[in-house]
Amino acid sequence: MTKITVAGAGAFGSALAVALDMAGREVTLVGRNIDTFQTSRDNPRLKGVPIPDSITLTSELNVTQDDLLLLAVPMQAMSGYLEDTKPKPKAAIACSKGVDLATGRGPTAIINDLLDVPSAILTGPSFAADIARGLPTALVIATESDLGEELQEALSTDTLRLYLSHDPIGAELGGALKNVIAIACGICIGAGLGESARAALMTRGMAEMLRMAVAMGAKPETLAGLAGFGDLALTCTSEQSRNFKFGLSLGGKGPAPTATTEGRHTARAIVKLAEAKGVDMPIAKMVAGVVEEKLTLEQAVSMLLSRPLTKEWPYAYRADLHR
């Protein structure tokens, strides 16, 4: 049996480790904070779900060429983590959603640049608590390598259903960009602008996601699936989403979440990429402006509402249609 090592003992990495262990896989969970729950097996990042004794806990990454490595480290730390550890697994599967702020690269590009191993991304609509408790969840495993079906089989369980894609760019951009739209939706609800406004933001946000993804070489149909629309729907409508809760706090409702909120970094990175590609992304610009404290809430709302009236282009994702 292929050994599975999960690097990153946060909520999502721990949840994947628990789910795969329950399915009979040999799992190792690696994290800097492992010592805090090595004995109790109670990870504070995944409250209420003890880490089974059958999962090996360690602070040292040690993988072989026969192992699968799931990288559940924060997106902004992935490059440094791989440079420091230099692992050589059978395949490295990114489980982070976002765009590197320093380089504008997605997780599979970082893996391809730093490791000489097949890369993939595991993404889609999911909350860590649901996965850990064995609730039905569907994700996408996207890779350009010929290991796709093997990875799909190895990482699927009775309750964790994986769909195979050969468009990692589209899959990772869907997962990254929906966080930005989720922040916008959180701002909308936090500021009391209403459910109709949220629906508009989600719909126009989907149009932005399509434009940017296609400009980056992704397939538009990928954004219509779990990695795009599915993840957008979940993240923009639930307070379990860190990005949505962060947006709520920006809109004046409740405290900001203490856990990593990738969307705040992705918004800044994607605005730079959009400008370089000539892609119009007004919602992302609004979020970046609020996050960087360059726009007040009132200015942000005014910026979106004062845009010129135009036709609706729900499927305007061709390279020549950037608005």
Helix (H, G, I), strand (E, B) or coil at 52: coil
Selection from 6, 108, 117, 119 nearest residue 61 by Cα: 6
Cβ count near 165 (within 10 Å): 25
pLDDT digits (tens, 9 = 90+) for 158-185: 999 999 999 999 999 999 999 999 999 9
pLDDT digits (tens, 9 = 90+) for 95-110: 999 999 889 899 999 9
Annotated binding site for NADPH: 12, 32, 97, 128, 242, 262
Annotated binding site: 8-13, 32, 97, 124, 126, 128, 178, 231, 241-243, 262
pTM score, whole prediction: 0.93
Selection from 275, 202, 295 nearest residue 241 by Cα: 202
Contact 2, 153 (CB under 8 A): no
In this predicted structure, what is the pLDDT of residue 1? Answer: 60
Active site residues: 178
Domains of the chain: 3-166 (3.40.50.720), 169-306 (1.10.1040.10)
pLDDT digits (tens, 9 = 90+) for 214-266: 999 999 999 999 999 999 999 999 999 999 999 999 999 988 777 778 899 99
Annotated binding site for NAD(+): 8-13, 128, 242
Give the whole-angstrom CA distance, residue 99 versus residue 121: 13
Amino acid at 163: Y
128 vs 306: which has the higher pLDDT: 128
Give the whole-angstrom CA distance, residue 40 versus residue 266: 35
